[in-house]
Structure 1
Amino acid sequence: MSEESQASGEEAAGEVAAEPLEISPQAPPHHVRVNAIVRYSVERQITMAMGVLGLLVLGWLSLTRLPLEFLPAFSSSNIWVNVPYPSASPGEVERELVRPLEDGLGTLNALETLTSSASADGANVNLTFVDGTDMDLAAVEVRDRLDRVRDRLPSDVERIYIRRFQSSDIPVLRTSVSSNWSRERLYDFMEDVVQPRLERLEGVAQVQVRGVQRREIQINLIPARLQASGIDVRQLSAALRQGNLNVSAGYLEEGARRLQVRTLGELTNLQEIRELPIRGDGLTLADVAEVDYTFPERESWDYLNGEESISISINKTSTANLLRVVERAKGEYERLLASPEGQGLSLRHFHDTSVDVSEGLSELTRSGVLGGGLAVLFTLIFLRKLRTTLLIAIAVPLSVVTTFVFIYLLRQADLTEMTLNVMSLMGLMLAVGMLLDNSIVVIESIFRHHDELGEDARTASLRGASEVAMPIICSTATTMSVFLPVLFVGSAGRFGRFMGDIGLTVCIVMAASLLVSLTVVPLVASKLLRSEPPSKPGLLSRMVDAYGWTIALTLRHRFVFTVGAILVLVGSWKLYSGIERTFSPPSEGRQLSLFVDTPRNYSTEQRAEVFDQIYALLDGNREKWEIADIAHEYRRGGGRSRNRHGGSGNRFEIYLVPEEDAQKRASDIQAEIRDALPTLAGVIFKTAAAQHGPPGAGSSQVDVELVGDDLQVLELLAPRITGTLSQVPFLKDVDTSLESGAEELRLQVDAERSVQAGLSTQAVAQTVSSALSSRAVTKYKSDQREIDVVMQYREEDRETLDQLESLPVFGDTPLQLGALVQAERAAGARTIERENRRSKIEISATTVGDMPSFAAMGMVRRTLGGYQLPEGYEWRFARSWRDAEEDADSTMIAFLFAVILVYMIMAALFESFLQPFTILLSIPFAFTGVGLIMKLAGQPRSSTADMGLIILAGIVVNNAIVLVDHINTLRADGMSRDNAVILGGRHRLRPILMTAITTILGLFPMVAPFFLPQVFGQPEGRAAFWAPVGLVILGGLTTSTFLTLLVTPTLYTLVDDFKLFFERVVRSARSVGPRRAARDGEAAAAEPAV
């Protein structure tokens, strides 16, 4: 700013108080440097027309080639290791499997948490790595460590499974298959026909068939024949292993040839197994056992709507279009049913992700189109010029098309994995209202040059667009910049990873909108702009005059307005901070889960009776509870219905009718079902509702962990903590991960007798295990796959203790097992859970009603905060809750960084450290609207709402940027400060109002269900999850726009006065030194010479 304009600004500081201002409605003429992009667009019309046409074609091609998903692609930072080890106790699994695995995996690079569990089925280890870790490299390192520790594991461990969870692991289609066929025929048809045909479909990555058991070769030993033949079961096991081998024996040099030598002894068919010699006298396996190729003993039962069924899950490849994959799969199912070999089969698709995707994308598309239509309609009503409105509306389709092109190009360059999903389309919907902002500001400036300054259409387009080029570039940059903290600071959290697609989409859309406003809009305006007779002053003119008078009033009473602004800020923060906080908004899906925990000593028949009773209850209330399908499963072993490491069993999945056909909320139905469940001795029921959004969204469960070195101490502490939490009024269904161990039979080996019989304790244990264990003894290799060979006593010969005690054990002399062991019955060990090599017990509770998550956490903290635990033992929230707290902290840090970035961009635009503070104060004024609208909608603060706050920080400053930049331009042309403030406000009122209202209208369909449920439906499911973003932006922008128009002019003058005062102090300080030196010189000259 020049010294003259600064001086005029100083003089103007006192003008307002002295006399009323007389201001011309026109600004003085000033020189505008034409922007190079604008000039090129207006002068190269044919080139631009071809460019737009090419963009439309590329946009359509890009749209058809972009993968369609429900949620963004993501990869978990966890690796799961599973080691199956059936027929073992949890204590044995912990000692033989878990501890060696912990030793081998505990020192992995970037490992954050190692969680393990030991159960009767085997060992599970969950490795959680630091966010940002290269998971491909981590998986390779995990395999390497497992290879090293393999020798420390029991020799009969067959497989170690390693699994990583990615978004592509979520099935796109789940189908239930039932039939009147025999079990053998149905299973063979699924494995040999259905699964291969589905796997051959384009875009299908994996087909999983659940409920099908693989047949195995069963060697059922006959005790009487074993005893009569004097055969020890250990001998049989050894004979099977040693008689089923192919061994590479080296090489033979035969003349000039070198031949590889292999000894072949693998069994090639079932008859060879039967005829396997087990003794030199011709005794074969068939002489002492029944050998069959059949199904193993059933371990689980699956049903859909009361009929036993098999479920098929289809996963797609990462690049395939979800809708097309599902369509192909359904077509293949139809062809199977129509074929002669498929007669008698019945299918039901009970979980179709394509429906969720189609509905979600349709909702967002409808909301976006409606929002864009409202914004354009308002522009037409406001301007009352169809040609101008169409000119502005061009920005919407061109910007959207450009967005598709950029996303496709970024994917081709491997710079992003973004797809078309609910998050990226949500970004489009958020940007719909803002798409018009830049075009409105540009066309308004062009109109002012044409109508008020009398320039021709071409000149007005060039100069008008160039005049506002820097302000709209800056305002667009502020909107885009707020997403950088989300990508860098928030990317570590779950919501940061999901919201990245929203941020990238908004950035691309806004950049496309900026490009269109500086190229297409001035080009079309230079052709379509026509001179029109001046219209009569209307409502808008009166609003402009009233606003100019209001600014003059605020400048005369700056102290009063400043105090009022401070009071508004204080009230805004109190209102906003008083809203309860939760992790994510409640967003119910139309699916319920009912977990059924039965005592482990229940027989399969007793467990089936419980499930039949519950199914009858649900099936008899289908209409009342709006149930579409009921799937349930139970397992032979019973016990806990939820495996915390990924497994499941003993549960009902209740699929409700779609939202559009529903009369009740899913949570209300859940409560009704819970109240109607019968009371059964020893049976525990738990219900849960499916949630939309990122993992963990909308959870109503509070999880607490007890951690310490000694599991027995934890088992004593857990009931006390559970009892304390049960007293909390807003918690229910308080339960622990402890479960009553299965009753077990303990055989205490008499060491002295065993030695006398020439047997070791290990030999006795191996004899019992060989007779009873269902582990595979060896493998039989068929043409297609490996088949387990299992050896054990016949089922009728291993039902009682007497039969077990009569088991022959061969040492120096044959003895019965009962002579060597003492049998006793006792409660078995529970599942053992550990974290970072310390024992752990989990305690869970469900919150009552819609209690916000942070309120529940605070209540638990207050309840357990003073609870005294022994030294070395602690309680803490489960990892998912700790992660959610970190997400909330990261989001607020991202908000602060966003504000700093916005300041930096504005400081660069205005070449001032002070003026950006004038604009930044628009942000706290937004909290007034945010607090009001969240209260009216009854919504808590959440991570989703915080994302709206971050976006809001980049939007609310745009109006003030345009206003302040124009005031600076007027002052640079010689106008006094206060006159420039008033005239700048008059000039920019219309574009500010238009841009704000079009953005608000663009967002209105997103939040409409909260205020007009009769028209737009109840805010449930997906709408309830993403609506808080729109609520925050809409409410904050509404109040911020109004308050910014009132407060910014006053703040501008106050900041300018502070700047002038500071400059005077600096000038005064600088002039003190020379004046003092001059006085000292004069004094020295006056002194007489000595």
Structure 2
Amino acid sequence: MRGLIGNPIRVYIVMALLAVLGVVASFRLPVSLFPNSLQPVVYVTVPYGSYSPDEFKRVYGDNLARELRGITGLGISVEKQETTYGTGQFRSVLTFNWGANADIVLRDARQSVSSITSTLPEESRRGVWVDSSGGGSHFAMAFYSSKRNLTELHKLLEPMIVPQAKNIKEAESVGLWNPNSREIKVELRPEVVAAIGVPPYTIESTIQDALKNQRAGSIENGGHNLPVSLKKRVNTLEDFRHIMIALPGGRHLPLGDIADIRFESNSQWEQSFKTSGVSSLILFASPKQGSNVKQMAESLLEIIEKAKASFPDDVEYRVLVDPSVYIRSAIRSVLFEVLVGSMLASLILFLFIGSLRNVVTTAIEIPISIALAFIMMWIFDININLLSLAGLALAAGMNVDASVVVMENIFRHFEEEKGELSVERKMQIILDAVDEVKLPVIASTLASLVVFLPFMFISGLSYAILGDLAKAVIFSHGFSAIVALILVPTVRFHIIKNEKHFHPPKAPIEGVLIRIEHFYIKVLSWIIENPKAIWTGLLGFAVVLTVAMILILPRLPKEIIGKPETDWLAINVETQNNTHIKQMETIVQQMDQVVTSELSNEVLYTFDEINGANQATILARIKDKKRMPEVRKLMESKFANSGSTKIMIDQWNPSEFRLPDPPQIRVAITGGTVEDRLIVSRDIKHIIEADKIYDQVWTKPDVDQNSSLEITPKIEQWNLLSQDGFSWSPELLTDAIRVATLGKWIGEIILDTDSVPIVMRYPEGTVSSVEDLGSFPLKVKGDLIPLRALADIQRQEGQKAFYVENDRELGLVFGKAPKEKITEQKLAATHKGIDRYIAEDLPKLNLGAVTVQVEDPQEELTTSMNHLTIAFFCSLLLIFLTMILQFGSVVEALLVLAAVPLGLVGALGRSLPGLRKATSQADPDHHADDDPRHATDRPWSRDRRARATASRNRRGWWTRVIDGLDLACRAGLSISLSDLGCETSESLRFASFSVGPLNEKTHHQSLPHRGFACSGRRD
């Protein structure tokens, strides 16, 4: 130690090199909105084709679900699997553990699906869809034109943007998405097909043959083997019309005489986007896991800015989601908070120390500790995100603690010296002062760090929220002790080395400090001399704590992360009776016009996302986010639920941390048959809807889509007709009805370098009712007869739809309402209605073994709360052990831990004005000088000699008093863990964290490439 202090240049060089290395590491760290420890979700969809749900489940579904459930690996496990065998398709949603690698789980899921579905018919294999949502950041931009359709706009912009964007190394995928992609539609003429008596399958086979190059063997020529092939007959749209279709009797007819062939928008695509009422393309980019999201977004913006010069005047674009905006805001805000915190800490130090040089010596510890923390973040692969930045900001206010302790003790030792001091004596005084407090400084730092240490080892949601924050605090604050014990005494010796007479500076508020000291001594003496006052105080404190636990704690609002302010208003629309996406487009267009007319002075632009015939979201960008409450209230008065149309008005923030969003009600129906569960699910759904509290009520499987039409062929008649040459079979009839109702994919063709799907169908509306189906014409011996003459058609109300959750087949009913609408009383009333149904109505149905259970919809949040509770008690235990190591006495360690209930009362008291008991994203105008941390984070530890001297010293007592307050705050439940939230206004917000129950938080999101706005989808 003497060698380091005596040669300050070595210390300065080492510290400077480490600081530079830290700065370099900070530029090499990936930058993203959120930590890498997110929760990937994989979605798998497989069309049944000609299978029924029950058949597909037996043949493919059970094996596929088992294969997906078995996806495991290093740090990878499936926490929840939800499989639905619904109308027309198998759908499985796999929720993996927090922190699992999204790229690996998606790759494994695709391999599993491919191995099982490889034997499916081509049409079903083509419809297989596997994608994932990791809850991370993405980039989205809308392009639109009032003069061009989307196909023209796509052809114009795609070569300008996408090839360059795909070269961005941070991007996993980049695409300019055209929701109105085109297809070749072979629309059969019903009267012609009926007249010629040719099944659609025969037409399909002929078209597919015409699309292939036919191998015709090979010939030997001059010692060379020459393969022979017949070139495909169809290369252009016109070629389709000349395909010859074989008819009964050996005749042929051109396809152009049987069907209308058009190149038009995809009839099966059920999603569209509009910006300010104009149809839009979407440029969507998702980053690689762990990559620099900020760099990806900025590179995309740079490419678009360069391409902008080539855009025609009618082409416009709007940025919908740009994570770099929020990241830059986060960095600016953290730097601002660190600067403000440093200035406030320096000001307070100046008031107590009274020397600018000494203040600078102490305050320099803040940037150095942060720079050194970046080195550890680089080593442990922690990216720069909102939570890690929050940890660095929090630690900034704590990092001066150790330096103040060391410097104050050096001053005290010099005050005890008289006369002129030699350089050697000055060195010895500093060494003695540092040696006297080094163990208390280390213990003090450890006591602060062990509070955060358990949060590094928790798992799941708790780690996702607090893991990076805890590591950042530990890294930064841990280095502060090293800086305090090495750099501070070195700088102090360097400053006073050549001074003949050293006098510690006087504090500007020395008179005030002395008066406070006298008052403190009087009060403390009176308390010590009056034991009854001590017991009265303890009893009063116990009463206050008990009352607070009983009356205040249960009434506190509970949430994981509070919702930050935003300038995006979201209007979610759900219907049940629409059959075509154009119906929803009409509804959305009318609502969009209301929004723009009523909010003409409030809205910058709107963005509409339509997800199928029955779900859509209207997003409105508000000019002034402070006006959001008034705007939201106005829209709630304009749009109300009516009949089957449900409207939920909320706000959307792209920078919100993606968290579980459980409903308030979850009812499980197990046992019995599929039909029995559907009956009970429907009854309970009606009970919840009758409360008129829950904006969203849904079931799994969907009880509103559980009816079907079943066709039963009259086999005897079919057998007789087949003997007379009837060419139809039940299988060909099934295929024909599919073509007439849904249409059918029959192949692909390359046109202008693009792969274009080919779809065969009947004109829309040909078969739209039971009567139409019964009248479907079939040619028998030259006559047309209706389908009903050869088959029985019945409506089945009990269509089999299966839902399996973690290998448990059941039915589920959910109810969800905005947080401000729901109360404990309303929730209890709903539970009471369900309990009444279980006790009184269910037995009357005679459904046998059906069981109804109201389950906890917040199981994951409850588990996370348990993890936090365990981590908190581990922190207490570690603090206790640290105190024993410092004081060498169990009794004194227990006395220190007595501050815990005091801290709990303080936390509850702070909650009374409305502070949330949660990690809250609070008011953006909240600055560091409002943070209680700046009043309590002070050094608190001394060894026995320093404590004995402190009561006689004007600089010793104030550190001792503030030390005690600091320990009470850190050891108690009101641990000051600041957190960051990012908001659309591009500012960050600080708030304190107090350990408390976790609860659900409303978030709305959709899947990449399936919608990314606040869609309110429930899957």
Equivalent in the alignment of 1:561? 534
Equivalent residue number for residue 1007 of structure 2: none
Matched, 1:128 2:95: yes
Structure 1: distance between partners of 2:328 and 2:186? 52
For 2:801 and 2:3, locate their aligned partners in 1 and report how far apart those are by CA, in whole Å: 73
The separation in 1 between residues aligned to 2:975 and 2:463, in whole angstroms, is 22
Q: 1:655 to 1:622 in 2, by over 3 A?
A: same
Distance 1:712 1:808, change over 3 A: closer
Residue 330 (structure 1) aligns with: 301
Check 1:960–1:681 CA distance in 2 against 1; reply closer, same or farther (3 A cut): closer
* Amino acid in structure 2 at the alignment position of 1:44: N
Q: Distance in 2 between matches of 1:558 and 1:986?
A: 28
Of 463, 467, 492, which aligns to 1:496?
Answer: 463
Matched with 1:209 is 176
Aligned position for 1:351: 321
| Matched residue, 1:962 | 941
Give the CA deviation at 1:443. 0.3
Matched, 1:655 2:621: yes
For residues 700-849 of structure 1, the aligned pairs below 5 Å read 702-709=664-671, 710-718=673-681, 721-722=684-685, 731-733=693-695, 735-737=697-699, 738=702, 740-741=704-705, 747-758=711-722, 759-781=728-750, 784=753, 786-795=755-764, 809=778, 816-818=785-787, 819-822=789-792, 833-836=803-806, 837-847=808-818, 849=820
In structure 1, C-alpha distance between the alignment counterparts of 2:897 and 2:222, rounded to whole Å? 91
CA displacement, residues 613-633 of structure 1 (integer Å, 9 cap, x when unaligned): 322221122157x43332223
**Structure 2 partner of 1:638:** 613
2:201 matched to which residue of 1?
234
For 1:941, the equivalent position in structure 2 comes to: 917
Structure 1 residue 185 corresponds to structure 2 residue 147 = no
Q: Can you list the C-alpha shifts for 1:253-288, whole angstroms capped at 9, x where unaligned?
A: 99999x897977766623665554544766554453
1:771 Cα offset (Å): 4.5
Q: Is the 8 A contact 2:391 2:473 kept in 1?
A: yes
Matches within 5 A, 1:545-584: 545-548=518-521, 550-558=523-531, 560-562=533-535, 564-565=537-538, 567-572=540-545, 574-575=547-548, 578-579=552-553, 580-584=556-560
1:688 to 627, 650, 668: 650
**Residue 41 of structure 2 is aligned to residue 43 of structure 1:** no
Closer/same/farther in 2, CA of residues 345 and 260 from structure 1, 3 Å limit: same
Which secondary structure does the structure 1 equivalent of 2:201 belong to? helix
SS in 2 for 1:420: coil
Partner of 2:15: 52
Tell me which of 900, 914, 925 is aligned to 2:877.
900
Aligned to 2:603: 627
Which of 941, 948, 958 is 1:990 aligned to? 958
The residue aligned with 1:402 is 372
Alignment of 1:142-153 (within 5 A): 142-150=109-117, 153=120
**Paired position in structure 2 for 1:932:** 909
The alpha-carbon distance between structure 1 residues 888 and 268, as it changes in their structure 2 partners (threshold 3 A), is: same
Q: Is the 8 A contact 1:922 1:956 kept in 2?
A: no
The 2-side partners of 1:535 and 1:616 are apart by 70
CA distance in 2, matches of 1:917, 1:430: 27
CA contact (8 A) 1:592 1:688 kept: yes
1:1027 to 991, 994, 999: 991
TM-score where L is the length of structure 2: 0.80
Q: Retained in 2: the 8 A contact 1:73–1:167?
A: no
Aligned to 2:25: 62
Per-residue Cα deviation, 1:122-144 (whole angstroms, up to 9, x for no partner)? 33201234557676665565445
Q: Does 1:315 align with 2:315?
A: no
Moved more, 474-483 or 220-229: 220-229
Residues 436 and 855 of structure 1, relative CA distance in 2, 3 Å threshold: farther
In the TM superposition, residue 157 of structure 1 has moved relative to its aligned partner by: 0.7
Listed as ranges, the matches of 1:68-87 within 5 Å are 68-84=31-47
Name 2:390's counterpart in structure 1.
426
Q: Please state how far the C-alpha of 1:566 moved relative to its aligned partner.
A: 5.1
The change in CA–CA distance for 1:184 and 1:165 in structure 2 (over 3 A counts) is closer
Are 1:303 and 1:632, in contact at CA under 8 Å, matched by a contact in 2? yes
Change (3 A) 1:1024 1:895: farther
1:1074 aligned partner: none
Q: Distance in 1 between matches of 2:405 and 2:822?
A: 44
- Residues 218 and 864 of structure 1, relative CA distance in 2, 3 Å threshold: closer
- Is 1:444 the counterpart of 2:421? The answer is no
Q: Report the Cα distance in structure 2 between the residues aligned to 1:463 and 1:317, rounded to whole angstroms.
A: 54
2:447 pairs with one of 473, 478, 495? 478
The answer to whether the 8 A contact 2:708-2:796 is kept is yes
Determine if contact 1:423/1:499 at 8 Å carries over to the other structure: yes
CA distance in 1, matches of 2:822, 2:987: 20
Within the candidate set 593, 600, 625, 1:616 is matched to 593
User: Hey, what's the Cα distance between the residues in 2 that align with 1:1020 and 1:925?
Assistant: 38
CA shift in 2, pair 1:189/1:174, >3 Å: same
Q: 1:105 to 1:253 in 2, by over 3 A?
A: farther
- Return the offset for 1:878: 6.4
Counterpart CA distance in 1 for 2:877 and 2:689 is 46
Decide whether the 8 Å contact of 1:221 with 1:792 is kept in 2. yes
Determine the structure 1 residue equivalent to 2:928. none
Deviations along 1:439-498, whole A, 9 cap, x unmatched? 000101111111124574322222212211111111212222222321222x22x23212
Asked if 2 retains the 8 angstrom alpha-carbon contact of 1:116 and 1:834, the reply is yes
Bigger radius of gyration among the two: 1
- The aligned counterpart of 2:999 is none
| Cα distance in 2 between the residues matched to 1:520 and 1:757 | 100
Matched AA of 1:939: L
Of 189, 192, 199, the residue aligned with 2:166 is: 199
**2:25 is paired with a residue of what secondary structure?**
helix
TM-score (norm 1): 0.76
- 1:567/1:246 Cα in 2 relative to 1: closer, same or farther (>3 Å)? farther
1:377 aligns to 2:377 (yes or no): no
> Which residue in the other structure is 1:541 paired with?
514
| 1:980-1002 CA-partner distances (Å, limit 9, x unpaired) | 49849987422245668999999
Counterpart of 1:1072? none
Q: Shift in Å at residue 502 of structure 1? A: 0.8
Equivalent residue, structure 2, for 1:875: 853
Q: Does 1:164 align with 2:132?
A: yes
Give aligned pairs, total.
938
Identity percentage over the alignment?
19
- Secondary structure of 2:548 counterpart: helix
Give 1:306 deviation, angstroms. 2.1
Question: Partner amino acid for 2:265?
Answer: F
Tell me how far apart the structure 2 counterparts of residues 189 and 515 of structure 1 sit (CA, whole Å). Answer: 60
Counterpart of 1:439 in structure 2: which amino acid?
S
CA spacing shift, 1:264–1:839, aligned 2, 3 Å: farther
Q: Cα deviation per residue 1:378-400 (whole Å; 9 max; x = unaligned)?
A: 11112222222122111122122
Q: 1:986 to 1:97 in 2, by over 3 A?
A: farther
Unmatched runs of 5 consecutive residues or more in structure 2: 723-727, 843-848, 923-930, 997-1019
SS at 2:333's partner residue? Answer: helix
Name 2:274's counterpart in structure 1: 303
Retained in 1: the 8 A contact 2:583–2:613? no
Quick check: 1:926–1:956 contact (8 Å CA) kept in 2? no
Bigger shift: residues 275-284 or 306-315: 275-284
Q: Please state which structure has a larger fraction of its residues in helix.
A: 1
Cα distance change of structure 1 residues 718 and 1022 upon mapping to structure 2, 3 Å threshold: farther
Match of 2:812, SS state, is strand
Distance change (3 Å), C-alpha of 1:616 and 1:718: same
Whether the aligned pair in 2 keeps the contact of 1:85 and 1:157 (CA below 8 Å) is yes
Q: Which amino acid aligns with 2:862?
A: E
